[in-house]
Structure 1
């Protein structure tokens, strides 16, 4: 600023050239500082325009800028950097010290007039920042985000989340939030909640998904056996000054049916049989009320009421997932312990940190937190959770043809923060599950916040689980039950390899042709005249198809063909 002769004139010219406020520039020039930034992160054309002004005192500095080539993919997880390329949210914030690098520093010596007479070698050598290799798979992430955005839009919901985890290792394969945001222009969003990673930062009541953990505790403690009966009071159960309700008026239900049909009253009675001390211990052992240690910034720990606050009503409420809160990552981590034969794994998202040469300087591996339940108990619980996705179970819409799916629906009323109690019309609709049930490759949580109209987890979230799980299993090369699997082969789902077939007036278009042994090109040609969308998985020759040969085709139906 000291080199500027006419402050007002200079401010006016620069304001016009750079679309800035003249008064703001005058304030910068009269601040008394020896150096001030005029404008940063200018594009090349704008910088050249300012350079051509050839004004005294005006200098230019090249700065690096983080660029996100696929900005919406995993944006809440990755986060973003600020003006100085310093991490402000997400992984960018949590691992900023690794990725930032170090600038060179030098010492200058000057004479009495301020002229440089000597500078030494750099006191500190510059080094490039490290790179992170994540556990997230971009294809699975794409699948999760695509299906989540679809249900949020169709249900006119406030938002939602999806997490996909490898239950045997704790690796996070996908973490999606809706609505999305673009980290390249984060500053254009007025509401910081737009970039909040709700999958780890927001706590919510788990609802009926929590019944799976009560079931596990019952079996582990020997407090119940398969086939035990519970009277569900025909839909209304008075406990102290409260009345618990079921959606349907159930009489006697077996323990399996309590879970399959999601009876709140049956769950409350099961929790009462277990007792508050034992249930509290298992809740804590499954990891509720504490952060998972995932390394993802902003993770909350949820809340579990102190044992001294557990009245008989509280015990009942907690047994069907009310009165405590959890995060998405915490809930999926706990559920994955059932899938993993009783072992609770620490979830993680950073696989390794590498230097500029690509050499790993730090690696992260699967870590067992503790064994929560025995393998026998885990198998028993899994068997009952498989019944949830049977035709008459609450999670029937999560069923995948050719696979056994274990899971649990959840429909949780949201607390009324202003009046107390619970809202009458705001819900978190969820489904949590794993597949294949007896040898799980993936565990998935789907939660939809405040859907309009239909709100039951089995109707809203379960179909999303089905879509994500079926596409992910196909991508991972996990084939339907009964289909011979080649371990050396991996399926790759290419989303450009889908087309909608159409009827041009010829041939039998009402039944599915036999595609076995045909090439991808042949399949696409043969199905071009059929009124359905065809999804292609893999390459080579067709080995399996849905619908099966000869099955009747409905208008707008989707067909899937696996190749090897």
Structure 2
């Protein structure tokens, strides 16, 4: 084209060239987006309509050692609503409130307050059938989410061990918290299409499958757990006690076979739950163990080489003055006692004189080695370590109190662990709350085997000899143990609370080949009696008898009925502590 009369014809050509370049660029961009790089437009479209909805993961099953379920996950329906959409369906609110079982006026007020929100929970944890009834109303703005809720078949019997999860299915107490990562699993993802109002248009596909949590087999035997729970509850009722704990261990494998506490709670219904009911007292409550630690003081004496079982101590007149402090025996002991007699009579004077001879360091070393005042390694949430004092220079008063169980603090699980080492011929095995597929676990020799066997025989006499704790006896089995009675320290000040005691009994069986160790702690019995031999020993006897039978452990004391009756008559005249 020829431009006549134009002063600057090249300018027009430049403009045409620029327009052609722009048209070409636009055309190329259209081709690029539609043909070459079509993922961009697809991504932009998906960003406005494609959503990823989480798929809840099935939490892992918790079972006892025999496969009995202790915690299972059940599917539930959670209903939520878009507050803006619900405002357009006010006439449906009464029907929706009725289907949800809520008071219409309060429900309407709640929806008014959430009018500007695009997400609000209506109700969580409905059964699928209940959720379907509400969804069948087809109220605009009401939607459902699939979730899982934890259910505990054993209820209050295993509550303190298993624990519970919160409304979001996360572990909050007990094993549920300690093994939360193992049990939780991984959520999946589902791709869906939604319109601009958030309404579901199409369920496209599952982009990531949910990965269920792993199953967990505990060392707990549900049969023993029920047995211990029943007998401990009955004892608290009979003696008017405030609380109690009972622990059963397998001395060979270190497995915790049962752990119960009172008071307890129902993890399936926590509406009226009080914080005190949630305490796993066997692991959290610390106390002075009293006379139950005297066997370890005797073990230290034998281990020192300065004492033999036949050596005697003059305990007359049953008191010992140390400055302003007076040590007293509960029993009126006259004359001399050998080491076994000191344990049978539970002589504070006798064990104190032994402690003065061998030194507190020896006793401290044995108590530390068997696990008193030490971390058990179970990793249980909130577990207390207690306190085992260690002085650079041990005064006489502190030496004596350590020897007969005051001035230190332990938990029931620590005391049971210590007795399991004594029962296992002086070998301490690590504790475990999960099932151990082994018959014998590796351990550490913390007490010489000869010393441990000697003390086992002494503790057998504590139960079976005339004047012993006969209430702890188990028919057809030889058992060993030691009772204890400890005054309760005053909270917030020095000294002890008036007329407040803990009654204890710790022992193991059968003597021929010890397999089971057990500790019973009963807090503040109020019926008048409070000695461990009167309160805790009968519980030990009943639970130990059932445990040995259920674990199919062979009897080692099958005496003729007449002879057995004679023994019971003789020992029934003794004094217990």
* Interval containing the TM-score (normalised by the shorter chain): 0.7 to 0.9
In the TM superposition, 1:14-93 aligns within 5 A as: 14-15=96-97, 17-19=100-102, 21-22=106-107, 25-26=110-111, 29-30=114-115, 32-43=116-127, 46-48=130-132, 50-93=134-177
Return the match for 1:175 from 259, 262, 279: 259
CA distance in 1 between counterparts of 2:439 and 2:564 reads 44
CA distance in 1 between counterparts of 2:523 and 2:102 reads 41
Q: 151-160 or 6-15: which moved more?
A: 6-15
Within the alignment, does 1:4 sit opposite 2:89 as a pair? no
The Cα of 1:456 is off from its aligned counterpart by 0.5
Q: Deviations over 1:379-427 (max 9, x none)?
A: 1111111110024344221122332111100111110114421122111
Higher helix content, 1 or 2: 2
Unmatched tracts of structure 2, length 5 or more: 1-82, 567-577
Tell me what 2:571 maps to: none
CA distance in 2 between counterparts of 1:404 and 1:114 reads 72
Within the alignment, does 1:438 sit opposite 2:512 as a pair? yes
CA distance in 2 between counterparts of 1:23 and 1:284 reads 64
Return closer, same or farther for 1:244/1:105 CA change in 2, 3 Å cut-off: same
In the TM superposition, 1:367-378 aligns within 5 A as: 367-378=441-452
Q: 122-131 or 265-274: which moved more?
A: 122-131
CA distance in 1 between counterparts of 2:517 and 2:198 reads 66
The number of residue pairs the alignment matches comes to: 479
Tell me what 1:397 maps to: 471
Tell me what 1:493 maps to: none
Q: Deviations over 1:162-190 (max 9, x none)?
A: 1111111111111111123211012431x
CA distance in 2 between counterparts of 1:451 and 1:409 reads 15
Whether contact under 8 Å (1:144, 1:468) holds in the other structure is yes
Unmatched tracts of structure 1, length 5 or more: 353-362, 484-543, 552-564
Return closer, same or farther for 1:391/1:8 CA change in 2, 3 Å cut-off: farther
Tell me what 1:343 maps to: 427
Q: Secondary structure at the match of 1:294?
A: coil
CA distance in 2 between counterparts of 1:342 and 1:325 reads 22
Tell me what 1:198 maps to: 281
Tell me what 1:282 maps to: 366
TM-score by length of 1: 0.78
The Cα of 1:478 is off from its aligned counterpart by 2.6
The Cα of 1:310 is off from its aligned counterpart by 4.2
Within the alignment, does 1:413 sit opposite 2:487 as a pair? yes
Whether contact under 8 Å (2:250, 2:515) holds in the other structure is yes
Return closer, same or farther for 1:407/1:549 CA change in 2, 3 Å cut-off: closer
CA distance in 1 between counterparts of 2:449 and 2:400 reads 27
In the TM superposition, 1:243-392 aligns within 5 A as: 243-251=326-334, 252-308=336-392, 310-351=394-435, 367-392=441-466
CA distance in 2 between counterparts of 1:112 and 1:35 reads 14
CA distance in 2 between counterparts of 1:364 and 1:115 reads 56
TM-score by length of 2: 0.76
If you compute each CA radius of gyration, which structure gives the higher value, 1 or 2? 2
Return the match for 2:552 from 477, 497, 502: 477
CA distance in 2 between counterparts of 1:435 and 1:244 reads 32
The Cα of 1:308 is off from its aligned counterpart by 3.6
CA distance in 2 between counterparts of 1:115 and 1:258 reads 80
Return the match for 1:157 from 241, 260, 263: 241
